[in-house]
Amino acid sequence: MLTRKQHELICFINDRLNDTGVSPSFEEMKEALDLKSKSGVHRLISALEERGFIRRLANRARALEVIKMPERGETRSAPAAKAPVEDNVVALAPRVREPANDVLEIPLHGRIAAGTPIEALEGSSMLPVPAALLGAGEHYALEVAGDSMVEAGILDGDYALIRKTESARDGEIVVALIDEAEATLKFFRKEGSMVRLDPANRDYSPQRYAPGQVRIQGKLAGLLRRY
């Protein structure tokens, strides 16, 4: 059994999936249900998920799949007056839908060393990436070469998904451009007046540079691995 608002939301999501193959954004759901904030959408989605009517999908854009749908013996119309969230329950019958799978293409800029620095490469090829792996901001991808980050789960041949930024905090994994010529993927640390780039492999030593030698070009946002 669903409340009126839950019923309206699941029907709206299902209609959008049927029309576009992609579930609506939280902002679109908020506006469609005339809610005051996105927190109300989160509560409704959590309730639908707990009752087994929808589920969130890992590595999928907006991560929603409809598992069950209400029977539609009559045409659903928007209510003239908004009822309280807990009023007017609706009976459901199971109906399976295909999940959304939104994919974005981001620039693939060559190979980056996870061992010793190599020359940074710029390329024009694009890499398709599940949109759910990417957050806000502008992103690009680099193919990892080397094994110095294996203890952080970053392997040779992986695609590092990088969010563009020019700043980083201690302990973050960054793309560091060294002397405007070579790039490397490492943990970023400040060590006194120096910048230290740490590997994640005990067989490699940290690299130390003067701040003027190092320019941050992005932070690791995710990994894509092909088998």
Q: Who's near 110: CB < 8 A, 6+ residues apart?
A: 120, 121, 122, 123, 142, 143
Residue in 5, 30, 68, 186 annotated catalytic: 186
Q: Who's near 138: CB < 8 A, 6+ residues apart?
A: 163, 164
According to DSSP, the residues that pair with 161 across neighbouring strands are: 141, 222
Q: Which two tokens stand for residue 201?
A: 């492999």
Round to whole Å and give the CA distance between 200 and 182: 19
Q: Which two tokens stand for residue 200?
A: 């994640």
Residue in 5, 23, 148, 219 annotated catalytic: 148
Contact 57, 127 (CB under 8 A): no
Please report, in angstroms and rounded to a whole number, the separation of the first and last CA atoms in the chain: 43
For residue 219, indicate whether it is catalytic. Answer: no
For residue 186, indicate whether it is catalytic. Answer: yes
Round to whole Å and give the CA distance between 60 and 75: 31
Contact 158, 144 (CB under 8 A): yes
Q: Which residues are catalytic?
A: 148, 186
